[in-house]
Amino acid sequence: MSQGVEFNRLMMDMRSMQMEAMGSGKAAAKSAVEETAGTSSFADLLSGAVNKVNDTQQAANQLANAFEIGTQGVDLTDVMISSQKASVSFTAMTQVRNKLVQAYQDIMQMPV
């Protein structure tokens, strides 16, 4: 559900920027921004995603350390699964960052 909200927020931001760029008036752009004022900002969503990846990595490290010192109840399979989850989430975050940077560069190269 939150991914749909994130997507809708992003689309509204893009539409408002498009309206401003096309010069269709500040009123239309302002109404598009006001419609999404109740939701969290893109920066907040991105920050939350980075924090989740960080938490996943820290949990994987703690589990690995617990296994290394011989803590009861810590299984090697749990350590490996946790480690792979952290790796996959970091890779996904890196890909999202790369796509955002590419989109920014594309927008900056657009003729005005």
pLDDT tens-digit readout, 52-92: 999 999 999 999 999 999 999 999 999 999 999 999 999 99
* Domain ranges, residue 18: 1-39
71 and 54 assigned to the same domain: yes
28 and 60 assigned to the same domain: no
Q: Is the pTM of this model over 0.85?
A: no
Could you give the number of structural domains in the chain? 2
106 and 61 assigned to the same domain: yes
46 and 34 assigned to the same domain: no
**Residue 24: φ, ψ to 5°:** -80, 5
